[in-house]
Structure 1
Amino acid sequence: MFRPVPLFIGWRYTGAKRRNHFISFISLVSTLGLTLGVAVLILVLSVMNGFDRELRQRILGMVPHATLSGYRDTIDDWPELIERVQQQPKVEGAAPYIEAQGMLTNRGRVQGALVFGVDPAYEQRVSIIGNHMLYGDLEALKPGEFGIVLGDILARILGAKLGDKVTLVLPEASISVAGVFPRLKRFTVVGVFKVGAELDASMAYVHLNDAAKIKRIANGIEGVRLKLDNLFDAPVEVRRIARTETVQLQTSDWTRTHGNLFQAIQLEKKMIGLLLFIIVAVAAFNIVSTLIMVVTDKRADIAILRTMGASSGTIMRTFMVQGGVIGCFGTLVGTALGVVLALTVSDLVAWVEELFNFQILSAEVYFISYLPSQLKWEDVALICGSSLLISLLATVYPAWRAAQTHPAEALRYE
């Protein structure tokens, strides 16, 4: 049976018991360091991918990818505008809106909120709110009934439940014979939504016609919300659509409202990945110290192999095999551990939160309320391949030192 000499001897050296237990300890530490480095790198990148996914699906599922609004006035012929916009090839949906900023009050509790006037029939085309209703339904918003749908955190802050009355106070004044009063209107809570993000504490929905009445818009809307098939095309696409219209329209897109958050996540992913990759590199280069001590310990064996006719290349490949086995074992075990952790970390964190009755990520502080994770196999392949390459490179110098051993000098004091 054919066995390549470097592979056979290198494998035997890897599994053989050593007289110097310190070398075995250093070898074990090198393997464990590589294992943990690869596992943590896969886990952290998966978590960062999860944050990126949640930003796209949840946050950008609630806020518009892009908006078209009147340059100085409202848009009167909005049904025709929506009809034209939806015929654009990259537009998946369009919906009218009226936006109002104000304060919601209930039983002495006050909270600022961004209130959107929407048409439920159109809103389903551009928003995921219909899939995240905790109580009630978006369809319960009827014109003239002054119903309101609150975010879950906003409802808890106000202490409001279904059927309760909340008051919307707008930052505008109404002048009457009795004096100047803030503009306010009572609404009935008809629904509560929860997307598990910071939007739960700051957003509310009312019917489009009701919003027009409280903002005293006689006819028309303030703008059109757009959903595109590729959100990264939003800045260019919305400007192109605006140029095709005969009336002058203002444009905006998600990169102006939430672009900084997305860029921060991307930058953090790159920087954390780089830092953790350095940890993997340090763990891999521990193989250098391990092999140097092994070479010193095996000087006599190397000399005997050289006297038996082994070439320098054979000796070099032998110790590269030994270091490669350590690197492969650490990388493969770390990859398996990292994949398992990446697939289960969300459930593990949720279990810990339930067990100790505390929340690691609060939607009042962070933009989501749980730890997401998304495993990407291209990341796993890149990490695994890079780790194996670094491990192999780390074996070159010790193996070269072993190949330079002179038999006479090595056996002089044996």
Structure 2
Amino acid sequence: MKSSLMWISWRLLLSRKTLFGGTAPLALLGLILGVAALVVSMAVMSGFESTLQQAMTDVSGHVQVVKRSRFPDDWHELESRIRKAEPTLVGATRFVFIEGIMAHNGQISGVLLEGVDTDRINSVLRFKSRVLSGSDDLSQKSDVPLALVGSGLAKKMNLKVGDVFRVVVPITESVDPSSLQRKVGQFKVQGIMELGKYEWNERFIVTGLTAAQQVADIGDRYSGLLLRFPTASYARQAGFNLSRQLGTPYWVRDWRDSNENLFDAVSVERPAIFFVVAIIIFVAAFNISSTLFVNVVQRYKDIAILKTVGFGHKDIIKIFTFQGLFMGALGLGGGFILGLILCGLFNWAQGSLGLMSGMVYRVDGITVSIRLSDTIAICFATMLICFIATLAPARRGGKLSPMEGLRNE
């Protein structure tokens, strides 16, 4: 019985009086545009979040364990303590951060020099997929220490793979900390990278730990350890456990901590944008409701005939409810197709026209991402709104008596 009701509903929907006449095409078009807008907005928000997360984990690992003391210690012992507290640890590498000034071809720029263990870097960081030119291999033999340079910095300083540049690092004197000396280190560009964040691209340099320690004149001291775990989602729990186990001599932070405000903003804005854009679907659903009301009036004769041959009050309600749900499904499918097309156009436009400013959004570009949870939410919200919109006209059609429908026939 249910299948026959659906078949009748589908046949009535495809008639000239319903789907191809009156306001039905405009109502369906409005629903398609509303769903497409919702798909694009959620894909952009998800893409921004996933792009920023990927950049953080690729360049700085899942968790950073920073030493509060500057005195040298046995880092192997520290790694053993970490692995004992978190057996899921995938990899660990020492790192050191040094601020300095790059000088090249008469130009200068403030830079952040990061030194990492060249034999452990690939177990923690993911630079290979971010190399635009050159190579990410810092372990090759060279007379001049090799370095990886952010794409923005390379463009600003007119650097190419194989060029040699200098970094000037201020060093305080042990006798008089108020006076500074400068030390100059030379580095050779091994690769130019897209690091995912605007400020990193503009001032980030990665080199071997030994080369960074030598230019900063800090001996075998290091800033801490970069850690990688099986998944980025587990990093926060791992960081919390390590913070309790290691105690006050160490400062533990995960990949989300350094951009907590941005991720919090995305989590707050996501549902707000969803409900704001869903208003378009509400408006389109009311248009569908008005279309069904008109359809009920135009179908008085058909409704009367159906009731005459034995269809009940609930059967008529189901027929018009199915019509509204069919229109909702058509709008949902068309909206997703249009949304995917618009997402592709967005990817093309941001690459060709530079839609996103890194100075404003922290990233120079994003890859739109359509998550399964967003897809389920959009489908559920659209069909629920369309179902609610069909109840009033369906009930109106169900209340019609056969005599009223055949009065003028």
Indicate conservation of the 8 Å contact 1:166/1:188, yes or no: yes
Match for residue 79 of structure 1? Answer: 76
Alignment of 1:129-148 (within 5 A): 129-133=127-131, 134-140=133-139, 145-148=144-147
Distance 2:316 2:220 in 1: 87
Match for residue 312 of structure 1? Answer: 313
Distance 1:8 1:218 in 2: 81
Match for residue 110 of structure 1? Answer: 108
Indicate conservation of the 8 Å contact 2:154/2:192, yes or no: no
Distance 1:61 1:359 in 2: 23
Once the two structures are TM-superposed, the CA of residue 259 in structure 1 deviates from its matched residue by 2.3
Match for residue 195 of structure 1? Answer: 194
Distance 2:374 2:385 in 1: 16
C-alpha distance 3-145 of structure 1, shift in aligned 2 (>3 A): closer
Aligned length: 404
Alignment of 1:173-192 (within 5 A): 182-192=181-191
Once the two structures are TM-superposed, the CA of residue 3 in structure 1 deviates from its matched residue by 9.1
Q: Does 358-367 or 314-323 show the bigger shift?
A: 358-367
Alignment of 1:16-31 (within 5 A): 16-18=15-17, 24-31=21-28
Q: Deviations over 1:134-186 (max 9, x none)?
A: 22443257698444321121111122233434332335556999x96552413
Alignment of 1:44-123 (within 5 A): 44-86=41-83, 88-123=86-121
Output the amino acid matched with 1:341. I
Distance 1:369 1:362 in 2: 6
Output the amino acid matched with 1:38. V
Output the amino acid matched with 2:154. A
TM-score by length of structure 2 reads 0.83
Matched position secondary structure for 1:328: helix
Calculate the aligned-residue CA RMSD, in Å.
Answer: 3.5
Q: Deviations over 1:85-104 (max 9, x none)?
A: 34531211111111112322
Once the two structures are TM-superposed, the CA of residue 74 in structure 1 deviates from its matched residue by 3.2
C-alpha distance 108-330 of structure 1, shift in aligned 2 (>3 A): same
Q: Does 243-252 or 122-131 show the bigger shift?
A: 243-252
Alignment of 1:6-405 (within 5 A): 6-7=5-6, 9-18=8-17, 24-86=21-83, 88-133=86-131, 134-140=133-139, 145-170=144-169, 172=171, 182-195=181-194, 197=196, 198=198, 199-241=200-242, 243-244=244-245, 248-303=249-304, 306=307, 310-338=311-339, 340-341=340-341, 345-346=343-344, 348-349=345-346, 351-352=348-349, 358-363=353-358, 365-405=360-400
Q: Does 27-36 or 6-15 show the bigger shift?
A: 6-15
Matched position secondary structure for 2:124: coil
Distance 1:169 1:226 in 2: 29
TM-score by length of structure 1 reads 0.83
Indicate conservation of the 8 Å contact 2:293/2:393, yes or no: yes
Indicate conservation of the 8 Å contact 2:95/2:225, yes or no: yes
Distance 1:234 1:4 in 2: 50
Output the amino acid matched with 2:187. T
C-alpha distance 365-143 of structure 1, shift in aligned 2 (>3 A): farther
Indicate conservation of the 8 Å contact 2:171/2:216, yes or no: no
Output the amino acid matched with 2:225. V
Indicate conservation of the 8 Å contact 2:27/2:284, yes or no: yes
Matched position secondary structure for 2:69: coil
Once the two structures are TM-superposed, the CA of residue 235 in structure 1 deviates from its matched residue by 4.1
Q: Does 113-122 or 327-336 show the bigger shift?
A: 327-336
Distance 1:192 1:304 in 2: 78
Q: Does 82-91 or 54-63 show the bigger shift?
A: 82-91
Indicate conservation of the 8 Å contact 1:97/1:222, yes or no: yes
Distance 2:310 2:76 in 1: 89
Output the amino acid matched with 2:37. V
Output the amino acid matched with 1:50. G
Distance 1:70 1:163 in 2: 34
Once the two structures are TM-superposed, the CA of residue 81 in structure 1 deviates from its matched residue by 2.3
Distance 1:147 1:368 in 2: 26
Q: Does 110-119 or 305-314 show the bigger shift?
A: 305-314
Indicate conservation of the 8 Å contact 1:52/1:262, yes or no: yes
Matched position secondary structure for 1:154: helix
Output the amino acid matched with 2:125. S
Distance 2:124 2:180 in 1: 36
Structure 1 unmatched runs, 5+:
none
Q: Deviations over 1:18-60 (max 9, x none)?
A: 3x99x92311111112222223323332333333332232232
Structure 2 unmatched runs, 5+:
none
Distance 2:244 2:349 in 1: 53
Matched position secondary structure for 1:24: coil
C-alpha distance 412-194 of structure 1, shift in aligned 2 (>3 A): same
Once the two structures are TM-superposed, the CA of residue 408 in structure 1 deviates from its matched residue by 5.6
Matched position secondary structure for 1:79: helix
C-alpha distance 137-173 of structure 1, shift in aligned 2 (>3 A): same
Distance 1:350 1:240 in 2: 39
Once the two structures are TM-superposed, the CA of residue 301 in structure 1 deviates from its matched residue by 4.6
